[in-house]
Amino acid sequence: MTSPAWRKSSYSTEGTSAQCVEVAALSNAVGLRDSRQPDSGHLTLAPEQFAALVRQIKNLV
């Protein structure tokens, strides 16, 4: 099994103390984790759940 390819938001800046969420495509799911604590586990969402979360976040802005 290969490790997921985690990626940060394009809004994230390297070398800052800003907290960031990382995302990875998993088998039939989307993984979310804290970039400051990558070894502490991740949240797994179905693609539909991830899409709904993104919609809700966009509505807050």
For residue 45, the enclosing domain spans: 7-11+20-60
The single-letter code of the amino acid at 18 is: A
Task: For residues 25 and 6, give the distance between their C-alpha atoms in angstroms, rounded to a whole number.
Answer: 8
Task: State the pLDDT at residue 13.
Answer: 65
Query: How much of the chain, in percent, has pLDDT values that exceed 70?
Result: 84
Task: Tell me the H-state helices in the chain.
Answer: 47-60
Residue 53 lies in a domain: yes
Burial (CB < 10 A; 0-12, 13-18, 19+), residue 21, is middle
Residue 2 lies in a domain: no
Beta bridge partners of 37: none
Residue 57 pLDDT grade (very low, low, confident, very high; cuts 50, 70, 90): confident
Task: For residues 34 and 54, give the distance between their C-alpha atoms in angstroms, rounded to a whole number.
Answer: 16
Average pLDDT over residues 26-37: 93
Q: What is the pLDDT of residues 1-28, one digit of tens each?
A: 578 999 987 766 666 666 688 999 999 9
Residue 1 lies in a domain: no
